[in-house]
Structure 1
Amino acid sequence: MTLKSVVRRGALATVAAASAVALAACGAGQISQTANQVAAVDGAQNVQEAVPGGVAIRDAHIIVDPESGDAALKFSVTNQERSNYAVYTLESVEVEGAGEAQLTPVTSTKSYDAASNGEQEIPRDCQMVVDYAGAVEQYSAQADANPGCITYFSSTLDSETLAGDKSNAIGENRNVTFTFQGPEGTEEIELFVTISSYIPEAGSVDRGDNGLAEGAKPAEASDAEAGADDAARGDATTPAAEQAIGQINQQ
């Protein structure tokens, strides 16, 4: 065997080992994310260990309005237990640097009202949806006709302590701790969430006949644009219009 062949095989072995380490690290990350679910409760309908259970937290991130500076926490919680009697209650949500998130009930579906005995209670196959007030008002408007088991809350955060010494915290990350009271007592789930700028949902902004959002003012036209408009209307007496006509003649 030549030295070149030995080197080549050694390089391939090194790459294979590095790939294995990378895959192991990736797998560890997936396991860590899966571990962010509260463990399932053993019971007559929940005897299969492979069946996912507990509560799942999805789409968790902090939203900041860049204009007002107001901040809110967005997330949804689903009870995935197999047992009909496994109920979870969200006791609190603590955000690093901002303290406890203030949750305010907005509305709920008929199925949730029939299944729940408390405001922040999450029965089996039910969901809690939390967002900033404007968003919750929009997608909870059809709650009466929604057959799902859903309760809607709006949230607010202390934006001043969230940003600290900086003008804002957009683009940063914070630890968020969810505390639940469940079948096995008090359980906590900690997530590392992103702080993002508020972006209106498509179609959520009401616009007038002029195409502008309600309350918005049109941008002021420059002298050249104003003069061109006057000239187009036949009003060539304004200085801006005379300048615009002069520019047209030069062309």
Structure 2
Amino acid sequence: MLHRPRPVARPGCHATGRRRPDVAHTLRSVVVASCAVCLVGACSSPPFENPSKQGAPAGTDDAKGDERVDAAPAAAAGTAEPKGPSVAASTNDVDRTPAAVGTEAPAFRVRDDEGRWVQLSDFRGKRPVLLLFYPKDFTSGCTAELSNFAAKHDLFAKQGVAVFGVSIDPPERHHAFRESLRLPFPLLADEDGSVSAAYGALAEQGDQRFSLRKVVLVDRNGIVAYRNESYRVGDARHFDEVVEAVARLSKPAEAGERTGP
């Protein structure tokens, strides 16, 4: 029987009786394992992002860059174009009615029933002016209205108030109407409707135009002190309200006369 000689152990190897591993095979195994590790790591790592999008530490250029990017929309949102007065304020705080109480009365210059020119500025600093706007001469409602004020004319005159009836009728018709009622105050012929329009008392229906029934009281300084938007001839309270407004207006003047030099 032949005996195979026992392998001799070489330096650096264990005499285990096993074959020495193939170097090439070992290297291939290592490479494969390394690649596997790399693949696993790639799957578990987040995808690449710009450092500036990952919250770079404060004080770095990237952090500053983020602040600039984020601040831009905020600055744009906070930058408002110049605005005019608030719409809400104009609506809630300001009376848009023409010739509103507390505003300067619109100036006018028209002829009265005798053809004389009458202008509001003639009374400024001298006397209050009471304007009685009415629709038309020789109508029942207007006849009753002007007759009521005519009956109290002495009271208005005593308080220094100049009274005028106003409608769009011409001077000639005004004169005939005034004579028929023996009115103690003039009637102004607002033929083009400009005065009625300026005081918010003009109505237009198709090709017809007329003054609305309103009462406006202008003080000595040319400021609207009182106005009645819907004066009712048959309601005594409306007439009394006008009389009270005139009385209130005359009190400061009387006090001033007593306390003045």
Same fold (TM over 0.5): no
Identify the structure with the greater helix proportion: 2
TM-score (norm 1): 0.24
Q: Could you state the TM-score of these two structures normalised by the residue count of structure 2?
A: 0.24
